[in-house]
Amino acid sequence: MSASLQLVLLGHGKTGSLVEEVARERGHSVRILEAEENADGSAITRDSMQGVDAVIDFTTPAAVVGNIAACAAAGVNMVVGTTGWQQKLDSIRPMVEESGIGFVWGSNFSIGVNLFFNVAKAVASAQKHGYRMQIAEKHHIHKKDAPSGTAVTIQQILASQGGEAPPIESIRDGEIVGTHVMLLDGPDDTMMLVHDAKSRRGFADGAVRVAEWVKGKSGFYEFKDIYSEV
């Protein structure tokens, strides 16, 4: 376990609350910034972030971009687990890199899901052998974005291997934590590959471990590229 960190947590919903719990279990100090005191990232300044090792964001797609800009301006490292904003990556990345902070984002901080991304890369070539691919994702009714960031990442991985971007079906029902399915339908057989999250704790644990990993680093990272190091 790493030395004690000073963390600031943005977003204190179901996952954010678990982030706080896991961080304290791992010996870190956590300060929570509520949404009403941090409109457009206004509470994130160089003065207020003195001594802070990392800001962890599990807010909303509408809030996260302002928080990223504020962290870049304040010179404080950041871990982003919020999804639904990835279409703005092209403008966010140069801003983060110019600021010199350490920044890690992920569509999913579960180790299991990131292993699942590797499975997606391994099976992507099935399209060249006549398999038709589909993605389905199920989440709780409170989830703000659809399709999920995880499903979009799977779609991008499959398309990046020379195939088509498969369609995504999104289902919002009850309190489902998160289920992702890759369906490969071929002329002679069918494969169904499934990741089903039992709880949100895996997301929270990954985010805290990333905050530990990024201390002392600068640069722009995606969790799926560094998860084996945390």
Instruction: Check which CATH number belongs to the domain holding 162 and give it.
Output: 3.30.360.10
The pLDDT of 140-160, averaged and rounded, is 93
Residue pLDDT, tens place only, 162-217: 778 999 999 999 999 999 999 999 999 999 999 999 999 999 999 999 999 999 99
Render the burial of 110-148: b for 16+ CB within 10 Å, e for the rest: bbebbebbeebeebbebbeeebebebbbbbeeebebebb
> Which residue, chain included where needed, has tokens 């204190």?
12
- Round to whole Å and give the CA distance between 181 and 178: 10
The pLDDT of 53-78, averaged and rounded, is 97
Same domain, 12 and 68: yes
- Look up 143 and say whether it is catalytic: yes
Percentage of residues in the chain having pLDDT higher than 90: 92
Same domain, 101 and 121: no
Instruction: Check which CATH number belongs to the domain holding 59 and give it.
Output: 3.40.50.720
Residue 1 lies in a domain: no
Residue 62 lies in a domain: yes
Per-residue model confidence (pLDDT) at position 93: 97
Contact 67, 57 (CB under 8 A): yes
Same domain, 192 and 206: no
Number of domains within the chain = 2
Same domain, 128 and 94: no
**Is the whole-model pTM more than 0.75?**
yes
Find the domain containing 180 and state its range: 111-196
Contact 203, 223 (CB under 8 A): no
Q: Is the peptide bond before 147 cis (omega within 30 degrees of 0)?
A: yes
Catalytic residue among 12, 14, 121, 143: 143
- Round to whole Å and give the CA distance between 62 and 133: 31
Mean pLDDT computed over every residue of the chain = 95
Q: Residues with Cβ < 8 Å from 141, sequence gap 6 or more?
A: 172, 173, 174, 175
Residue pLDDT, tens place only, 92-122: 999 999 999 999 999 999 999 999 999 999 9
Render the burial of 53-66: b for 16+ CB within 10 Å, e for the rest: bbbbbbbbbebbbb
Same domain, 95 and 116: no
Percentage of residues in the chain having pLDDT higher than 70: 99
- Look up 139 and say whether it is catalytic: yes
Catalytic residue among 139, 180, 195, 224: 139
Contact 130, 185 (CB under 8 A): no
Per-residue model confidence (pLDDT) at position 1: 58
